[in-house]
Structure 1
Amino acid sequence: MPTTILIVEDELLIAVEMEAVVHDLGHESAGIADDMQSALAKASDAIDVALVDVNLADGATGPRIGEKLAADFGIEVIFVTANPAQLGEGVSGTLGALEKPVDLSILKQVLDYVIAVRKGEKIDPPARLRLFFN
């Protein structure tokens, strides 16, 4: 069964590129959201992973979105952001952060890691992924 991934990113070119990578890696996209309202409207228990930027069309709402997706829907959340310092020590319930820019090989490593974690497997995280321990 393929992994379903929601992309929360307000820069359309980046979002479409990430969605193409998700498909290239054999996963399904749950769509693209550019703010809190659209992210929560697309959210469901059927989504496995969310890749969430910090600064979106409605401001720095990424951390709140990530927290809600994790708490309310059981989604594994990875922040993909050029501003990881805005996340401080981490966001409750979320896995970690990946600093932009991100290439295909790094995104594949991170998605493989998140999927393994979701299955309860113990593997080492990719070097570029900063894990939150909360």
Structure 2
Amino acid sequence: MTKRVLIVEDEIFVALEIEDIVTSASLTVSAIAADSAAALRAAPESDIALVDLNLRDGATGPGIGQVLAERYGIKVIYVTANPSQIGSASAAALGVITKPFRSSTIKAALALASQDNDNEELDYAAIAGFTPFLPRLGSLRGSEYSE
């Protein structure tokens, strides 16, 4: 089954760029949400979420990411220029992609999040711009992943 990706981003051009990357990775975009309310409405139809921190309703990204992961079982990846703002919400997420990002970084992180077996030992080449949060992601080592 094709994974459904929720894009939580209030800057429309960034959201559309991420949407293009997601579809080019043969995944489905479940919704683009600019605020926490829209993200929660789309949550039941989503498997993975790419979440910015500063949304239309303020710095609600860390909290919404935590809710998406804990309440809905969604695999959350933060996408932000301010990773230090994530704080304790990082415990519920797979990791963070730092803006500006490469499309290859988003694709590699989506491949990681698309794994159905959370206990599977994963061994990926280093993904430039992605910082994993959970030990179950395995090591990110090797040469830089580039486009």
TM (norm. structure 1) is 0.90
In 1: Cα distance, 2:73 partner to 2:103 partner: 25
Identity of aligned residues (%): 42
Deviations 1:30-73 (A, max 9, x none): 110011111111111x4110000001111100000000000111
- State whether residues 90 and 133 of structure 1, in contact with CA within 8 Å, keep that contact through their aligned partners in structure 2: no
**Displacement after TM superposition at 1:108 (Å):** 1.0
Written as runs of structure 1 = structure 2, the 5 A alignment for 1:1-134 is 1-44=1-44, 46-88=45-87, 90-116=89-115, 118-120=116-118, 121-124=120-123, 126-133=127-134
Number of residue equivalences: 132
**Displacement after TM superposition at 1:24 (Å):** 1.0
**Displacement after TM superposition at 1:130 (Å):** 1.3
Following TM superposition, where does structure 1 have runs of at least 4 consecutive aligned residues deviating by more than 4 angstroms? none
List alignment gaps of at least 5 residues for structure 2: 136-147
Quote the RMSD (CA, aligned, Å).
Answer: 1.7
**Displacement after TM superposition at 1:128 (Å):** 2.7
Name which one, 1 or 2, has greater alpha-carbon Rg: 2
